[in-house]
C-alpha cells in the first residue's frame, strides 16, 4: 500500500506569474523579477516538504489553499463567506504550478502527476495557508 504524505504550510498562497520578456543586445530573454513573492512561497513549500521521498511513479496531488478575507468586508459578509469557495484571482492552475515547481526535487518530472485536485477557499484567519497531500499511485 502506498504511503500518503500531507502537510500544512502557513502563509498566503501565491500563484506562478507569467514570465516577463525583455530584449538585450537584440536577443529576447524571459525572467521573473527577483522580488516577486512566488520565490518565497516556493522556498517555503520546498522547506516544509524537504523530508519527503522522491516519488518514482504516478502520483495523486491534492492541494487546498485558503485565502484570508479582506478586512474591508463587513462581519456579516465574513461570516457568510467562511470556508466558501474562493472564485477570484489567483487562478487555481497558477497556484498549483507554483507548488508543483517547488516540489521538483521529489520527482523526475511533474508529468508524474496523474491526478491533481486544487481547492480554493476563504478563511477567517489573518493569514492564509496551503494544505498539500501526495499519494503515490500503484
Query: Whose CA is closest to 137, among 62, 60, 53?
Result: 60
What's the pLDDT score for residue 30?
83
What's the pLDDT score for residue 1?
56
In this structure, which CATH number among 3.90.79.10, 3.40.718.10, 2.60.40.420, 3.30.1330.70 belongs to the domain 4-136? 3.30.1330.70
DSSP 25: T
Tell me how crowded residue 4 is: count the other CB atoms within 10 A of its CB.
11
Q: Count CA within 13 A, CB hemisphere, residue 104.
A: 6
In contact, 60 and 137? CB cutoff 8 Å: yes
Cα distance between residue 49 and residue 118, in whole Å: 18
Residues of the chain predicted below pLDDT 70:
1
Any idea which residue has 516538504 for its cell? 49
What's the pLDDT score for residue 21?
85
| Domain positions in the chain | 4-136
Sign of CA dihedral 108, 111, 115, 116: positive
What's the pLDDT score for residue 60?
97
Dihedral angle of Cα 133, 46, 95, 21, to the nearest 10 degrees: -160
What's the pLDDT score for residue 34?
85
pTM equals 0.89
Amino acid at each position: 500500500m502506498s504511503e500518503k504524505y500531507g502537510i500544512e504550510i502557513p502563509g498566503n498562497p501565491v500563484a506562478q506569474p507569467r514570465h516577463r520578456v525583455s530584449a538585450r543586445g537584440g536577443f529576447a530573454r524571459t525572467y521573473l523579477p527577483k522580488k516577486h513573492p512566488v520565490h518565497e512561497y516556493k522556498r517555503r513549500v520546498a522547506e516544509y516538504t524537504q523530508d519527503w521521498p522522491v516519488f518514482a511513479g504516478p502520483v495523486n496531488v491534492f492541494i487546498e489553499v485558503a485565502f484570508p478575507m479582506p478586512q474591508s468586508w463587513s462581519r456579516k459578509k465574513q461570516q457568510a463567506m467562511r470556508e466558501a469557495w474562493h472564485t477570484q484571482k489567483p487562478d487555481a492552475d497558477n497556484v498549483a504550478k507554483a507548488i508543483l515547481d517547488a516540489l521538483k526535487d521529489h520527482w523526475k518530472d511533474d508529468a508524474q502527476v496523474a491526478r491533481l485536485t486544487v481547492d480554493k477557499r476563504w478563511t477567517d484567519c489573518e493569514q492564509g495557508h496551503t494544505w498539500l497531500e501526495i499519494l503515490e499511485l500503484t
